[in-house]
């Protein structure tokens, strides 16, 4: 009688080797710092007449008011940005 051993096909062997390699710890990589900032943002939502909102938009764009939530019906958003700090590399 012939002994039956574990036979691996080439695709199964490659798949197993790749899955084992994925579990090994990789070399640490340093990240390059580019910029950081701290700021406060205040969002103001308004409901203005549709004609007024359309005049503020570029040609071909159309205002789409929020359909639900606390800003329902708002078609103009003003964002106030108070930058406290900005750092670059």
> How many Å is the maximal CA-CA distance in the chain?
90
Pairwise CA distance, residues 75 & 45, whole Å: 7
- State the pLDDT at residue 14: 63
Distance CA 6, CA 16 (A): 14
List, for residues 30-72, the tens digit of each pLDDT value.
788 888 989 999 999 999 998 888 888 899 998 888 889 999 9
């Amino acid at each position: 009688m012939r002994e039956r051993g574990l036979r691996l096909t080439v695709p199964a062997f490659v798949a197993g080797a790749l899955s084992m390699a994925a579990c090994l710890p990789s070399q640490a990589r340093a990240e390059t710092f580019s910029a950081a900032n701290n700021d406060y943002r205040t969002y103001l939502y308004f409901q203005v007449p549709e004609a007024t909102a359309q005049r503020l938009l570029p040609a071909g764009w159309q205002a789409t008011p929020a359909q639900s939530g606390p800003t329902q019906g708002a078609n103009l958003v003003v964002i106030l940005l108070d930058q406290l700090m900005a750092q670059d590399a």
